[in-house]
Structure 1
């Protein structure tokens, strides 16, 4: 999967946030890119402008990089390979595996570096398949 991941940046900035306020939750759900129910509250990934409108802290904007490979839900190694490659360069990441693709969220100011790291990982994985 690493050899075929085709990392591509998404437009915009995103914010991870959480709330227990039912009014905020209802409003955020309508705008959220992702929603996850946790014991402590409902977590959201929102476009930065939507997060600001809803009163969330937007001081850590993230960029999203979509891995273009169709990742199998039972696939092994994609998340680990990506996280390790980014960690080796000091780039924090949050991964969200959706049904079709995995999505990597990195600090906005590190997006270009993260893309170059992921492209290099993809190329190295292709070379090792030969």
Structure 2
């Protein structure tokens, strides 16, 4: 992963995104059961409070063990560039490139990096699309 000052320039973020595929399989889960949420939180990659309940991104083993539906296995692709929180265009470029290849994606932005979650069966194709996008941004 890259470190240093966050990058704000759109072209530099795209060229430097260096997508990395996570070998873990992830599931987007939700519950309005506070006890179940409390058990799930320590395993969660991230948690988001929504009006309908807690949304969690859980690894497969935890999601299964806690009884969540395993409906859509997802692969996380981390964009290794340290994108600035006020940078414009990286997630739009990634989502647009993936959409152009008919690959669904859920973008999650964190402090240092952005993460694209794609259906696991399309992860290889998604990596190809993102590597080409980064190469095009570098030229």
Q: State the TM bucket, normalised to the shorter chain.
A: over 0.9
What is aligned with 1:2? 14
What is aligned with 2:65? 53
- TM-superposed deviation, 1:11: 1.6
Runs ≥4 residues deviating over 2 A: none
Give TM-score, length-normalised by structure 1. Answer: 0.96
2-structure distance, mates of 1:48, 1:16: 10
State which of 31, 43, 46 in structure 1 corresponds to 2:55.
43
What is aligned with 1:82? 94
What is aligned with 1:94? 106
Give the match's secondary structure for 1:49. helix
Deviations 1:20-40 (A, max 9, x none): 111100001111000000001
Give the match's secondary structure for 2:24. coil
What is aligned with 1:14? 26
> Where do 5+ consecutive residues of structure 2 fail to align?
1-12
What is aligned with 2:127? 115
Give the match's secondary structure for 1:69. coil
> Where do 5+ consecutive residues of structure 1 fail to align?
none
Give the match's secondary structure for 1:85. helix
Q: Does 1:103 align with 2:115?
A: yes
2-structure distance, mates of 1:107, 1:81: 18
Give TM-score, length-normalised by structure 2. Answer: 0.90
